[in-house]
């Protein structure tokens, strides 16, 4: 008899390690011991006194109301299918089946999936690119206005803010521009759930009156994987329709472990947020300063001047750039995990992204600092300017409707032979799970070369099967 997954996770939990990744409770550190020990006794169902997530009137309604007050929303829903489910409900409510959505080129794959499933036409705008780090930033105001004017028949505009690197857009301006055109604003604020709990953090989109704001509770609060909040920040959305759409796409047996944890996570952040974030930010300022003094690494936010199209930065997101060394951040990430037991959230070619919450102690940061100083001291420095990091290739507008492409007959072709064919699947670099190819779009030489370089740099590409790609049959 064997339970290989349980065994693998059990072995993993026995290792002494530091977490700079989700979930925000950091291996259970931020969970009260009673709750941690009684996880299975709170795993109950809809009974007398436990309420019903799909038609809340009792304890769940009260917990959602308190969350709404904490986040400043008109209404907050607890979601048990992650920001993914919350985004689906927001998109379906705002756009409707068959409608049109304007979304950023760097939207998460769940946005594309929603468009595929509900037959929504998506048009994409480009975010600007921060050359000094080789990462996407926010759309310029001009880009936003142009796309809004060009697609005046769209029902909603979606912006991801903050992005994976903690870069935030100007949501106040977006609200005005979008509402002036009678559209709804959806903000994918999956990475900014903590924004409501300290004045030292950027302001949440809810406070600007964005219509639908999606937060992943598990990313930056002390809540388990899969938990999320969907907030309505204005009177525009139809509350009942949103509740109905959530019921359509979420399980009929929501986990009480998740629901209780969301309630507790909100309470904890509200109680301790002010002092906890101020201590974390102080520790991070010290860390950044020390790392930049002792290595040739750069950190985003170490010097905030001169960045176009970055309205604000999340000071708790740590982005470390290794451009000065002959290495990739993906290699550094593996070395940190294997040799030092330090796990980062994500690595792209030149940046390591660490996700910190107040559960990360100064000791965690000291371990990271010692490890990086040691690793960097053994790395050759670059003598030549590196090839510039290229921004993700432009998304090709689907030539076949994504909802048709994904169900049409297909064949599997090696990446190198797929040029000019139509993709059947979404292909993305994971994480951050931002699509490179959409179902129904044509595969260009730039896309093939981008995917090949990503694979060579040790990044994980989702949607490929052993280096091959599903394309439509001729
Ligand atoms: C920007 C963004 N939006 C949405 C999601 C989906 O979140 P979840 O994993 O909570 O479903 C993610 C996941 O990483 C994300 O990065």
Q: Where are the beta strands (DSSP E) in 245-390?
A: 298-299, 312-313, 317-321, 342-344, 346-347, 351-355
Q: How far is ligand 1, taken at its centre, from the CA of residue 49, in Å? A: 32
- Work out the number of other CB atoms within 10 angstroms of the CB of residue 375: 20
Distance, in Å, from the CA atom of 472 to the CA atom of 461, rounded to the nearest integer, reads 20
Based on the fold, state whether residues 118 and 199 are members of the same structural domain.
Answer: yes
Ligand 1 pocket test: which of 168, 213, 216 has the largest number of ligand atoms within 8 Å of its C-beta?
A: 216
The verdict on 236 and 300 lying in the same domain is no
Helix (H, G, I), strand (E, B) or coil at 351: strand
∠ CA 139-144-149, rounded to 5°: 160
| 447 shares a domain with 308 | no
Q: What is the DSSP string of 354-409?
A: EE--TTS-HHHHHHHHHHHHHHHHTSPBPSSPPPPPPPPPPPPPPSS-HHHHTTS-
Q: How far is the CA of 170 from the centre of ligand 1 (A)?
A: 20
- Exposed, middle or buried: residue 9 (CB in 10 Å: 0-12, 13-18, 19+)? exposed
The domain that holds 349 is classified in CATH as 3.90.1150.10
Token pair, residue 119, equals 């037959």
CA distance 248 to 236: 21
Residue 451 tokens, joined:
């995917």
- Say whether both 145 and 79 belong to one domain: yes
Atom of ligand 1 at shortest range from CA of 219: 10
Is residue 291 domain-shared with residue 229, that is, in the same domain? no
Q: How many CA atoms lie within 13 A of 396 on its CB side?
A: 24
* CATH number, position 241: 3.40.640.10
Using the 3D structure, point to which of 265, 287, 304 is the last residue of a domain: 265
In a domain, 230, yes or no: yes
Q: How far is the CA of 188 from the centre of ligand 1 (A)?
A: 8
415 closest CA partner among 471, 343, 335 = 471
Q: Whose CA is nearest to atom 14 of ligand 1?
A: 432
Which of the 8 DSSP states describes residue 126? Answer: P
Look at residue 415 and tell me if it is in a domain.
yes
**β-pair type (135-136, 427-430):** unpaired
Residue bearing the CA closest to ligand 1, atom 9: 82
pLDDT at 403: 86
Ligand 1 centre to CA of 267 (Å) is: 23
Taking the CA of residue 87 as reference, the ligand 1 atom at the shortest distance is: 4
How remote is the CA of residue 221 from the centroid of ligand 1, in Å?
A: 14
Q: Which residues pair with 75 in a beta bridge?
A: 232
Ligand 1 center–CA 185 separation, angstroms: 18
Residue 135 belongs to some domain of the structure: yes
User: Hey, which bits of 166-285 come out as E strands?
Assistant: 167-168, 184-188, 212-216, 228-232
Contacts of 125 (CB under 8 A, 6+ apart): 102, 103, 104, 105, 139, 143, 144, 146, 147
Within 136-255, residue ranges assigned H as helices are 141-150, 171-180, 217-220, 239-249
Residue 293 and residue 358 in one domain:
yes
How far is ligand 1, taken at its centre, from the CA of residue 74, in Å?
23
| CATH number where 435 lies | 3.90.105.10
Ligand 1: which of 23, 77, 84, 227 to mutate, judged by most atoms within 8 Å of the beta carbon?
A: 84
Q: Which domain holds residue 332?
A: 278-377
Residues 76 and 210 in one domain: yes
**CA distance linking residue 89 with residue 313, whole number of Å:** 28
Do residues 229 and 217 touch, judged by C-beta distance below 8 A? yes
- Looking at the structure, do residues 182 and 118 belong to the same domain, yes or no? yes
Count up the domains in the chain and report the number: 3
The DSSP letter of residue 204 is P
> Are 245 and 89 spatial neighbours (Cβ–Cβ below 8 Å)?
yes
31 in a structural domain:
no
> Same structural domain for residues 225 and 256?
yes
Domain shared by 81 and 227, yes or no: yes
Mutation test residue for ligand 1: of 90, 190, 193, the one with most atoms within 8 Å of CB: 190
In a domain, 160, yes or no: yes
Say whether both 418 and 356 belong to one domain.
no
Give the separation between CA 375 and CA 347, rounded to whole angstroms: 16
Note down pLDDT in tens along the chain; length 474 residues: 899 999 999 999 998 899 999 999 999 999 999 898 888 999 999 999 999 999 999 999 999 999 999 999 999 999 999 999 999 999 999 999 999 999 999 999 999 999 999 999 999 999 998 988 989 999 999 999 999 999 999 999 999 999 999 999 999 999 999 999 999 999 999 999 999 999 999 999 999 999 999 999 999 999 999 999 999 999 999 999 999 999 999 999 999 999 999 999 999 999 999 999 999 999 999 999 999 999 999 999 866 545 667 789 999 999 999 999 999 999 999 999 999 999 999 998 899 999 999 999 999 999 999 999 999 999 999 988 766 666 678 778 889 988 899 889 999 999 999 999 999 999 998 888 888 999 999 999 999 999 998 888 888 899 999 889 999 998
Q: Residue 324 C-alpha to ligand 1 middle, in angstroms? A: 30
Has residue 19 been placed in a domain? no
In terms of domains, do 212 and 308 share one? Answer: no
Examine residue 58 and state whether it is found in any structural domain, yes or no. yes
Examine residue 7 and state whether it is found in any structural domain, yes or no.
no
pLDDT at 189: 98
Angle at 468 between CA 409 and CA 350, to 5 degrees: 130
User: Which two tokens mark 438?
Assistant: 């959409």
Pocket of ligand 1 (CB under 6 A): 82-84, 108, 110, 160, 164, 188, 190-191, 216, 228, 432-433
């Amino acid at each position: 008899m064997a339970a290989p997954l349980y065994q693998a996770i059990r072995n993993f939990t026995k290792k002494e390690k530091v977490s700079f990744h989700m979930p925000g409770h950091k291996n259970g550190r931020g969970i009260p011991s009673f709750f941690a020990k009684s996880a299975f006794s709170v795993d109950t169902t809809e009974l007398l006194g436990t309420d019903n997530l799909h038609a809340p009137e009792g304890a769940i309604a009260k917990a959602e109301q308190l969350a709404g007050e904490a986040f400043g929303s008109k209404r907050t829903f607890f979601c048990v299918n992650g920001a993914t489910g919350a985004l689906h409900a927001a998109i379906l409510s705002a756009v409707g089946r068959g409608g049109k959505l304007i979304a950023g080129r760097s939207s998460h794959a769940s946005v594309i999936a929603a468009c595929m499933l509900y037959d929504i036409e998506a048009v994409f705008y480009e975010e600007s690119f921060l050359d000094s780090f080789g990462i996407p930033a926010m759309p310029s105001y001009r880009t936003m206005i142009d796309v809004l004017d060009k697609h005046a028949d769209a029902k909603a505009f979606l912006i991801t803010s903050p992005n994976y690197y903690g870069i935030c857009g100007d949501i106040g301006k977006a609200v005005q521009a979008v509402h002036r055109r009678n559209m709804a604003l959806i903000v994918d604020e999956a990475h900014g759930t903590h924004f409501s709990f300290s004045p030292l953090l950027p302001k949440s989109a809810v406070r600007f009156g964005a219509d639908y704001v999606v937060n992943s509770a598990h990313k930056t609060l002390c809540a388990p994987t899969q938990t999320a909040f969907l907030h309505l920040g204005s009177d525009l959305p139809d509350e009942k329709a949103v509740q109905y759409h959530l019921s359509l796409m979420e399980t009929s047996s929501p986990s009480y472990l998740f629901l209780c944890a969301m309630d507790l996570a909100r309470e904890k952040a509200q109680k301790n947020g002010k002092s906890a974030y101020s201590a974390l930010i102080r520790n991070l300022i010290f860390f950044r300063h020390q790392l930049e003094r002792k290595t040739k690494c750069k950190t985003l936010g170490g010097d905030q001047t001169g960045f176009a199209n970055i309205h604000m930065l999340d000071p708790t997101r740590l982005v470390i750039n290794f451009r000065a060394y002959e290495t990739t951040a993906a290699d550094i990430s593996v070395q940190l995990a294997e040799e030092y037991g330090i796990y980062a959230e994500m690595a792209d070619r030149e940046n390591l992204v660490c996700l910190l919450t107040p559960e990360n102690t100064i000791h965690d940061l000291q371990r990271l600092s010692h490890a990086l100083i040691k690793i960097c001291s053994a790395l050759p420095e670059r003598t030549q300017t590196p090839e510039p990091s290229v921004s993700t290739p432009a998304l090709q507008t689907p030539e076949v409707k994504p909802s048709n492409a994904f169900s049409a007959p297909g064949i599997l072709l090696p990446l190198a032979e797929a040029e000019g064919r139509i993709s059947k699947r979404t292909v993305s670099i994971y994480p951050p799970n931002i699509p490179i190819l959409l179902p129904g779009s044509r595969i260009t030489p730039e896309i093939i070369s981008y995917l090949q370089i990503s694979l060579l740099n040790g990044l994980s590409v989702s949607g490929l099967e052993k280096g091959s790609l599903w394309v439509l049959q001729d």
